[in-house]
Amino acid sequence: MKNFGVILIFLLLCCRFATAQEDLTIVAPTSEAAEGLDLTAVSELFKEAKTLEEFEKSLNDPDTGVNNLDLDADGNVDFIRVVDQAADDTHIIILQVPLAENEFQDVATIEVEKSDDEQYNMQVRGSEVIYGRDYYVAPAHVHVRVWPIFSWMYRPVYRPYRSAFYFGYYPRWWRPYRPVTVGVYRTRTVHYRTRASFSVTRTSRVRTVNRASYKPRTSTLVKKKTTVTRTTGVKGKQKVTRTTATRKTTAVKKGKKTKSTTKVRKTTATKRGKGKKAAPKKAKKTRVRKRKS
């Protein structure tokens, strides 16, 4: 009986593990725009910066190559300005693209909090418009406390940083430049991803973020093609389903399928009609047989 109980428990655990494998889903960034700004690379730049002004410069530096955003599809990479909103020991650092006068698109936020025991916690949250819901990048194996930018942000005389630049007014060192293809961009930023200092997660780690009165800003000038990629583990295998925003194309294909289905139904109906016409012939043969008899 004991052996039977052990075997039963083992089978139940195996079933639960198999079910968990089938239900495991990882959601990737949900637009082509997200391919133009790797938030893992952004996190690395933030970790290495000494001030937010330095971080803003490295973020937009063509030689660094981290910024490849072209949200309005005008053929030039957009300038990303940095704005800090602070409340008590909580900071929300907004990465914002000015697309026109009074037109802004928030791309991501860097959320930082400080605890009573002098410990720091941070995460980068992608804008829902660009990266989809619950897209976070958080430290994996990093000692956050030693970052130089935190000692600068939490000094007694600190005033929340606000970029002096806006649409049509940019720093002298910056000039518009052409974006590169997704493949080239990934090659350019691969050394940031291979460090394994940060990981993508769907869970928020900063609990005091609601202290700051932050309202995301979005712009209708953003042109993006939505791409949702869902990777589901099925018994150790990966099944990838990709859905794009080319709904018109999908609709046309569905329309063609509908037409072909309709044709099949018509053909079937015609065959049935011929069958009905054949019925009287059988009846005539039956009458003839009766006369012969």
Q: Are 173 and 57 in contact (CB under 8 A)?
A: yes
Q: Are 248 and 255 in contact (CB under 8 A)?
A: no
Specify if 159 maps to a domain. yes
pLDDT above 60 (res 114) = yes
How sure is the predictor about 207, in pLDDT bands with cuts at 50, 70 and 90?
confident
Number of Cα atoms under 13 Å in the Cβ half of residue 277: 6
- Return the pLDDT at 13: 56
Each residue of 17-45: pLDDT tens digit?
Answer: 444 433 333 444 556 778 999 999 999 99
How sure is the predictor about 210, in pLDDT bands with cuts at 50, 70 and 90?
confident
Whether residues 107 and 184 fall in one domain: yes
Whether residues 193 and 87 fall in one domain: yes
Whether residues 262 and 168 fall in one domain: no
Instruction: Give CA–CA dist 117/158, Å, rounded.
Output: 20
What is the rounded average pLDDT for all residues in the chain?
76
- Extended strands (E) in the chain: 25-27, 81-87, 90-100, 103-114, 120-126, 136-139, 198-201, 227-234, 237-244
Whether residues 138 and 253 fall in one domain: no
Give me the domain span that covers residue 261. Answer: 247-293
End-to-end CA distance of the chain: 80
Specify if 199 maps to a domain. yes
Whether residues 46 and 158 fall in one domain: yes
More confident residue, 228 or 218: 218
pLDDT above 70 (res 153) = yes
What does the pLDDT average to over 184-207? 92
Specify if 53 maps to a domain. yes
